[in-house]
Amino acid sequence: MRTQVGIIGAGPAGLLLSHLLHLEGVDSVVLESRSREYVERRVRAGVCEQPTVELLREVGLADRLDREGLPHHGFSLRFDREDHRIALTDLTGGSITVYGQQEIVKDLIAARLAAGGDIRFGVTGAAVHDVETDRPRIAFDGGELECDVVAGCDGFHGTSRGTVPAGVLKTFDHVYPFAWLGLLAKAEPSHEELIYTNHERGFALHSMRSPEVTRLYLQVDPGERIEDWSDNRIWDELHHRLATDDGFELREGPVIEKSITPMRGFVAEPMRHGRLFLAGDAAHIVPPTGAKGMNLAVADVLVLSRALSALLHKGRTDLVESYSDTCLRRVWRAEHFSNHMTTMLHRASDVDDYQHRLQLSQLRYTATSTAAATSLAENYVGLPF
């Protein structure tokens, strides 16, 4: 097989890159190891920044998002058993939209297939070769794809990043001393906006995926097993951590899914080696507290699509040469913001009362200072692409 851009991974990064390249008149083939059913059903992020929503509208991918997505103009910081609203729109003029990552994936797959795009599911054994030449190739079980450029959009555990020689790639890794237990429940959300809670027993988050489905999270130790957390135990802990003095009532419902996810920050530099370009989770991971993961992937592939169009249509190399530096500026800003949100809201087991008082001081300052609240809101809504 032959194409201009070989894309490994059919998540938001790979699929959106393929769509953006199509709009630029650049051919691509997407190779995905999982089945279509799997990638359309896996539950991931649910918060779209303002720039992400605007881009999806601009490229014709927001019809269902605009019908079914849930625009939010603020969120609550909950501490001292009381809500303190961060008014996103009032402070910044922007907002976020709750719309599941799997729904964006469904929209992208439908759009690519309707346009004659080539997405190959169930492709195993993918390995990248010859990226230091102008004819890289992707070998896989049963075939090979020759291309001008390879885009590694295959996530943190994919094979693309391992193609870059150890002497070239520098990695920065921070593992947080806690994890998130996530619960998806068929229950009407208990609040119209997200609630980020700092509690002496650990962080909790109230979110949603639709008017009928609630997404909830609890901070737990990384060594916890999901088998040790019965539904009743999870609900009891959520009730305890989310309680307020004004009588907040948490609605319960049948549990659809539950899992435990470790938290880490990770960045690989550079995001390019020869004709291989890394994007999304293949290049960086952020803790989910700041809701930046999927949005960073969108920002990466927007920069990459423009760079590859200039390279393949006009022979320009300036944008591909600056791709890594351009993306990493945004990545490190997101890493810092996500770390700030995480350390402000979570209580590690080794944090003493002194440190907890510092957390509460930061929360109180953020909730009462227009300048501090605006900075938080600006980063949360998303900096312009």
Mean residue pLDDT across the chain:
96
The per-residue b/e assignment along 186-197, b for 16 or more CB within 10 angstroms, e otherwise, is ebebbbebbbbb
Catalytic residue among 72, 191, 273, 346: 72
Higher pLDDT: 139 or 357? It is 139
pLDDT level of residue 131 (50, 70, 90 thresholds) = very high
Inform me whether the pLDDT recorded for 351 exceeds 70: no
Query: Could you confirm whether 176 is annotated as catalytic?
Result: no
Cα four-point dihedral sign 39, 42, 43, 44: negative
Catalytic residue among 176, 196, 217, 323: 196
Report yes or no: 332 and 268 within 8 Å, Cβ to Cβ.
no
Q: What would the pLDDT profile of 95-106 be if each residue is shown by its tens digit?
A: 999 999 999 999
Instruction: For residue 26, give the 3-state DSSP assignment.
Output: coil
Q: Quick one: pLDDT at residue 83?
A: 97
pLDDT, tens digit, 9 for 90 and up, residues 1-27: 999 999 999 999 999 999 999 999 999
Q: Which is the catalytic residue, given 99, 176, 217, 380?
A: 380
Residue 355 pLDDT class (50, 70, 90 cuts)? confident
Question: CA-to-CA distance for 156 and 152, rounded, in angstroms?
Answer: 10
Confidence of residue 110 (pLDDT cuts 50, 70, 90): very high
The residue assigned the tokens 């009891």 is 236
**Annotated catalytic residue within 287, 288, 323, 346:** 288
Q: Is the pLDDT of residue 271 over 90?
A: yes
292 is catalytic: yes
Query: What is the model's pTM?
Result: 0.96
pLDDT class for 237, splitting at 50, 70, 90?
Answer: very high
Please answer whether residues 188 and 214 qualify as being in contact, where contact means their C-beta atoms are separated by less than 8 angstroms. Answer: yes
**Which one of 19, 206, 292, 346 is the catalytic residue?**
292
Please state, in angstroms and as integers, the Cα–Cα distance from residue 125 to each residue in 120, 301, 342, following that order: 13, 24, 36
380 belongs to the catalytic site: yes
DSSP 126-195: -EEE-TTSSS-EEEETTEEEE-SEEEE-S-TTSSSGGGS-TTT-EEEEEEEEEEEEEEEESS--SSSS-E
Is the domain spanning 176-263+349-381 CATH 1.20.140.10? The answer is no
Q: Can you tell me the mean pLDDT for 126-148?
A: 96
Check whether 152 has a pLDDT greater than 80: yes
Q: Structural domain boundaries of the chain?
A: 5-73+94-173+264-341, 176-263+349-381
Give the chain's end-to-end CA distance (angstroms, integer). 34
Confidence category of residue 46, pLDDT binned at 50, 70, 90: confident
In sequence order, the β-bridge partners of residue 55 are none
Question: What is the CATH number that goes with domain 5-73+94-173+264-341?
Answer: 3.50.50.60
| 304-326 average pLDDT score | 98
Q: How much is the average pLDDT of 224-228?
A: 96
**Spatial distance between the Cα atoms of 149 and 129, rounded to a whole number of angstroms:** 11
Q: Give the least confident one: 38-47, 279-288, 374-383.
A: 38-47
Distance between CA atoms of residues 205 and 189, nearest Å = 12
Q: Position 34: which residue type?
A: R
